[in-house]
Amino acid sequence: MTSQLRYRCQLHQSARERREESHPLTWRMRDDGVRVDLAEYVSKDGYAAVSQVLNGQSPEEVIDTMTEANVRGRGGAGFSAGVKWCLTLKGENIPRGYLVCNADEMEPGTFKDRQLMEQLPHLLIEGMILGGYANNARFGYIFLRGEYIGAARAIEQALAEAREAGWLGADIAGSGFDFDIALHTGAGRYICGEETALINSLEGRRANPRDKPPFPGQSGAWGKPTVVNNVETLCCVPSVLRHGADWYQSLSGDLSNDGGTKLYGVSGRVNRPGLWELPMGTSGRELLDLAGGIRDGRALKAWLPGGASTGFLLPEHLELALDFDTIAKAGSRLGTGLLTVVTDQQSMVALMRNLETFFARESCGWCTPCRDGLPWTVKLLAALERGEGEQGDIEMLDKLANDLGPGKTFCAHAPGAAMPLASALKYFRHEFEQGVTRPTGPAHAEPIPVGEV
């Protein structure tokens, strides 16, 4: 899917000023979508935060600013980046560790990090330098989804430019701080989005999640303290440290207690699928309007607020602020903040069979509920989709959704798969019941390709 980045700008300011002040993640992007090279990036205040911070602030001051700004993880979990950095082992007798960028963007319906990496790789590099400085890291890794060939090319070019200019390597900006970054492309497994499975894969091991504690901040890659952050999270860092926590908080205004902006997107059967940088707390209704509404005049039946591992919401939830706490109170998760729409033409049974097939295939097989429970849900859903369901199948799906929930499996993979299933059964149970006695019918039998979900 080709995503189109659109800007919501204020009037009576120059184009550059209004974009910089209201769109810290995207204002440097070119209209033609071409990668911003080092010369252009520096001309747009690139690496200014590195020079400012490395020569004027302590790592503790950096962490304090990030905590006050309330930069919550943009990969889906929403955990405070500043608090996470506080938990990393530091001190004179603690070995320097690693900063790892989680760029394994395999959440169905999510494509925000790809835009940043393809068009603004230097913004990610700058954020990683600052994160490495704050966390006493000696080296950084970008763990990239293997299918993102364009992003890999852009990052490799940017890394070479940054090294040649002295932004990576020894004595960055004359500060005495040494830091470098390597690109590591993954082998295409969804489980690598879980930070400890990612670390195992980075080390050359099977991508299974690790038992915690110890947490990566204490013992991560090769036994060293390791911080893992998402691409968008790290791309927020330069503007936060350059302009301050109060400025960053002000970007969301009265819309949300979560500071800053967010890359929101819409995919599915809308007129203009795309990606927008908007204040945190923007409503689903506004996003759907920016996407031009539902295609072919169809009605909205349901929507996922942040990728396939979030719970379905209804049209009446569109007025809610798209932030972590508000969406959680509604029974779902903000996740990656990219909406997937479901129209009145689409079957929830077929859609859930498709989604659970994806989650079952991507299970690492480490724990029994996930390894055996997810294929079982696929078998039951496929039978209901064919109209061959038996009495008790829906109740068994209810039980499986509960048994796969939070705290009952080794990592968050199975709970992520269970959330859309549980919400689909809650809101659209009648569609599942139809599959017990008869086929769901031609109008409802069309599955959604995984790429659209």
58-77 pLDDT tens trace = 999 999 999 999 999 898 88
Number of domains forming the structure of the chain: 3
Co-location of 72 and 199 in the same domain? yes
> For residue 4, is it within any domain?
no
> For residue 312, is it within any domain?
yes
Give the angle subtended at the CA of 178 by the CAs of 177 and 184, to the nearest 5°: 135
**Residue 13 predicted with pLDDT over 50:** no
**Full residue range of the structural domain in which residue 273 is found:** 261-343
Co-location of 356 and 328 in the same domain? no
- Tell me the two tokens of residue 29: 């992007």
Q: What is the CATH number of the domain that holds 406?
A: 1.20.1440.230
Q: One-letter amino acid identity for 295?
A: R
pLDDT, mean of residues 208-230: 94
Q: What is the 3-state secondary structure (H, E, C) of 350-393?
A: HHHHHHHHHHHHHCCCCCHHHHHHHHHHHHHHHHHHHCCCCCCH
Contacting residues for 143 by C-beta, under 8 A, at least 6 apart: 100, 101, 102, 103, 104, 184, 186, 192, 198, 201, 202
Co-location of 74 and 26 in the same domain? yes
Co-location of 309 and 196 in the same domain? no
Co-location of 76 and 164 in the same domain? yes
pLDDT at 133: 96
Contacts from 22-25 at CB under 8 Å and sequence distance 24+? 22/251, 22/261, 22/279, 23/261, 23/277, 24/236, 24/239, 24/243, 24/248, 24/251, 24/260, 24/261, 25/116, 25/120, 25/123, 25/232, 25/235, 25/236, 25/239, 25/261, 25/263, 25/277
Helix (H/G/I), strand (E/B), else coil: 14: coil
Mean per-residue pLDDT over the chain, rounded: 90
Domain boundary among 318, 343, 368: 343
- Specify the pTM: 0.90
Phi, psi of 144 (to 5 degrees): -105, 140
Q: From the centroid of its chain, how far is CA 448? A: 21
pLDDT, mean of residues 210-222: 93
Residues 343, 443 contacting (CB under 8 angstroms): no
Residue identified by tokens 């800007």 is 7
pLDDT at 453: 37
Question: What is the band of 19 on the pLDDT scale with cuts at 50, 70, 90?
Answer: low
Co-location of 364 and 338 in the same domain? no
pLDDT at 92: 79
pLDDT, mean of residues 416-440: 89
pLDDT, mean of residues 146-162: 96
Q: Which residue has the higher pLDDT, 259 or 168?
A: 168
pLDDT more than 90, % of the chain: 79
- Tell me the two tokens of residue 114: 């790809």
Angle between helices 413-427 and 348-362 (to 10 degrees): 170
pLDDT, mean of residues 33-38: 96
Listing DSSP states for 216-230 in one string gives: TTTS-GGGS-EEEEE
Question: What is the band of 9 on the pLDDT scale with cuts at 50, 70, 90?
Answer: very low
> For residue 5, is it within any domain?
no
Q: Within 13 Å, how many C-alpha atoms sit on residue 49's CB side?
A: 29
pLDDT at 438: 54
> For residue 124, is it within any domain?
yes
Question: How far is the C-alpha of 422 from the C-alpha of 399, rounded, in Å?
Answer: 9
**Residue 80 predicted with pLDDT over 70:** yes
Residues 98, 147 contacting (CB under 8 angstroms): no
pLDDT, mean of residues 43-48: 96
**Residue 48 predicted with pLDDT over 50:** yes
> For residue 154, is it within any domain?
yes
Residue identified by tokens 């970054």 is 181
Co-location of 283 and 243 in the same domain? no
Burial degree of 407 (CB within 10 A; 0-12, 13-18, 19+): exposed
- Tell me the two tokens of residue 218: 């204490």
Question: What is the band of 437 on the pLDDT scale with cuts at 50, 70, 90?
Answer: confident
Domain boundary among 205, 221, 250: 250
Radius of gyration of the chain (CA): 22
Q: Which residue has the higher pLDDT, 13 or 31?
A: 31
pLDDT at 259: 85
**Residue 5 predicted with pLDDT over 60:** no
